[in-house]
Chains A and B, each alone.
Chain A
Amino acid sequence: MNTPASLRYTREHGWARIEEDKVYIGITDYAQHMLGEIIFVELPLPGDEFAAGEAYGTIESVKAVCDLYCPLSGTVVAENENLLCFPELINEDPYQNWLVVLKMSNPEEIDDLLEASAYEAVCLEEEQAYEE
C-alpha cells in the first residue's frame, strides 16, 4: 500500500495535500486498487462550494460507482480537466492526479484528517473485516 506521509487522509479513502489556503484532493492508492480500472469521473465546476464530508463528484470503475467525499470545506478553484478525458491516469498515479483544488473555508478541519499511519490502520481494519 502506497500512503505518502506528506499527505492527510479520510476514512472514505480520500487524500488532501495542503498548500497555504488551498488543498489538492484525490483518491488513495488503496481506493484505486479496490475500484479497479477507472473509466469515468464526474467533477464539480470552479465556484461550487462543499462542506467537509459532502459528496462533490462520482468516480466509476468497471466494478463500482462511488461518490467522492470532500475532506475539507471549501470552494472549488480548479478541476483536473485532463481526468475527464483520461480517467485511467488515476490508476497509474493516484497521488499525482488530483481531482480538484479547493480554497479552504475552515482550515481548522485539517486537524480532523488522518495521518498516513492512521489511514493505513483504517485500510487494514477494512481488509480484516472482509476476511472475517
Chain B
Amino acid sequence: MKNDLIIIGSGPGGYTAAIHAAHQGANVTIIEADRVGGVCLNQGCVPTKVLYQNARVFNTVKAAGNFGVTTTGVSMDFARMQQRKQKIITSLTGGIERLLKAKGIKLLLGRAALADKETVRVVDDNGGVRELKGGHILLATGSHPAMPSIAGIDLPGVCDSEELLAVEELPKSMVVVGGGVIGIELAGIFNTLGCKVRVLETMPTVLPGFDREISQRLTIYLKRKGIQIYTGVSVEEIEQCDDGLLVKAAGGKKELALKADKVLISTGRIPNTSGLNLEKAGVEFGPQGIKVDEWYATSVPGIYAIGDVIGGKMLAHVAAQEGIAAVENMMGRRRRVAYETVPECVFSFPEIAAVGLNEEEATIRGINYITGRCAFAANAQAQAMGKREGVVKVIAHKDTKELLGVHILGPHASDMIHEASLGLVQKVTLDAVGWMVHAHPTLSEAFIEAVRDSEGKAIHQMKGL
C-alpha cells in the first residue's frame, strides 16, 4: 500500500495530524520510538494532571472542617496515587492506539530516520529494518528536558520532570531549579503532598513570560502554602552531602546552600532533532529546532515539521493544531495556527490561565491600554467553594475597547479561559462581553466584572475608601 503520509512521532501533534489526514482519505503510517501518545500522555501533561488532582483532593479533604465536614486520620498513599496515574496513562494510550486502528492508520514501533529526501528508515527493537516511501513526511518528534551544564548534574537524586513523575516514594524535600511552568506545577503538587519545596529561578519573577502582576501574586500564594521561592539566583553546583544533596546558588547579594533529597531540573526543553539524519536529508535545523516556513514546510519539499521539534511555545494543544494545519497545507490549502490567541495554563494552586497580550507586552508594543480586575474573593461561587484566592485581569485597547488579553489566577482558571479566547479570536469589545449575560452564581461572573472594572463600572466593587 502506498503511503500518502508518513509521520514520525505519535505525540499529540503526530497522532492528531494522522487522524486528520485519514479523515481526508490519506493512507497514513505513524512511527513511534517509545510509547504512543508521546511525552504529553506518558511523561508530561497527563501524569502531572493526574497527580495534580490527587493533590487537589488531599487539599479538599484537609479543608473539610471549614465546610463542617468532620474527618479524622487523613493521610495519603503515594504508591496508590502512582498506580492510579499509571492506570489512566495506560487507558489513554490504549485509547489512542484503538483510535488509530479504527481510522485505518498503520502504527509502526521503532526508531525512524530519514534515509533520503523521500524515504524513512525504521529500525525496530529487534534490529529489523524497513524502508518506507511516502508522498509527504511529517516530523513530530517532540522535545526532551534540558539538562544545563552544572557541576553535579549527574548525581543520583538530581532528576528531570519525567523521572520525578515516576518516583516510587515521595521525597521529603526537593529543590526545584527553574520556576517555569513545569517547575511551578511540580512544586505545587509535591508541596501539597507533604514534600518541603524550594524553587530557584534566575529571572526576577517565576513564570517568566506571564503577566508580571499575576506571577507576583502567585508567588505570594505559593509562599503562603509554604513553598520558598528565590528569584534572581542561579545554581552554581550540586554536591552530595551526608543526608542528600546540597544545592549551591547565588545571585546579587544572595548566597544559598539548600539541602534536599531530590533536585528537579526544570530549565526548559530541547527539540528532538538528533538521530533523524536531518543533515543528510538536507533538512535545515538549529538549536531552536527544525526550521519551517509559516506553513510548516521544512527546507526539503514534501517534508513538514510541527510541535515541540520546531521550537516556539512547546504546548500539546499547539502541536495538535499545527498537525492539522500542516496536513491542510500538504493538500494545498493555506492554514496556520492563530498563535496570538493560544491559551496557556499553569496547574498551580491556584491555577493560572492566560490568553492574548500581557501588560508588559502591551507596553512594549506602545498600545494605549486599560486594565480591569475582579478578585475571586468578591465572587459568590468562589466564596461557596472556599476558593477565594486569585483575580481575573483583563487588558483592553483604551480607544477601540477591543479585548486584548485576559489573565486568570484562581479556581478553574483553565476551564474559564476559553470564553476569553473566543472573545480574542472574534476581536470582541468590552461592551460585547458586558452585554453577554453571565449566569449567577458562577466563577465566570468574575470575568464580566473585570471587564466592567476596566471602565470603572464594576457592580460589586468600591473604588477607593
Contact = CB atoms under 8 A, between A and B. Distances in A.
Interface string B447-465: 0000000000000011111
A67 interface: yes
Given A62-B375, A65-B373, A65-B375, A85 B220 contact: yes
Interface residues of B, number: 15
Contacts of B216: 42
Interface stretch (A33-41, A89-97, A101-109): A33-41
Contact of B461 (A34, A42, A65, A86): A65
Nearest to A59: B465
Interface string B207-225: 0000000001100100110
Chain A contact residues (Cβ within 8 angstroms of B): what range?
Answer: 20 to 34
Contacts of A35: 465
B217 A66 contact: no
Main DSSP-derived SS at the A contact region: mixed
A17 interface: no
Nearest to A67: B464
B388 interface: yes
B375 A13 contact: no
A42 B131 CA distance: 62
Contacts of B223: 84-85
A16 B216 CA distance: 27
B76 interface: no
Contacts of A63: 378, 461-462
A31 interface: yes
A65 B463 CA distance: 6
Contacts of A65: 373, 375, 461, 463
Contacts of B342: none
B377 interface: yes
Contact of B220 (A31, A34, A84): A84
A13 B465 CA distance: 8
A42 B377 CA distance: 16
A49 interface: no
Interface in B301-321: none
B291 to A, nearest CB: 42
A40 B465 contact: no
Interface string A61-83: 11111110000000000000000
Nearest to A13: B465
B219 to A, nearest CB: 9
A12 interface: yes
Contacts of A42: 216
B220 A39 contact: no
Contacts of B375: 39-40, 60, 62, 65
A99 to B, nearest CB: 14
B220 A64 contact: no
B377 A64 contact: no
Nearest to B216: A42
Most A C-beta atoms less than 10 A away, residue of B216, B378, B388, B465: B465
B461 A64 contact: yes
Contacts of B464: 64, 66-67
> Which 10 interchain pairs have the tightest Cβ spacing?
A64-B462, A39-B377, A62-B377, A85-B224, A84-B220, A66-B464, A34-B465, A13-B465, A85-B223, A63-B462
Interface of A: 12-13, 31, 34-35, 37, 39-40, 42, 60-67, 84-86
Given A63-B461, A65-B461, 8 more contacts: A37-B377, A39-B377, A62-B388, A63-B378, A64-B464, A65-B373, A66-B465, A84-B220
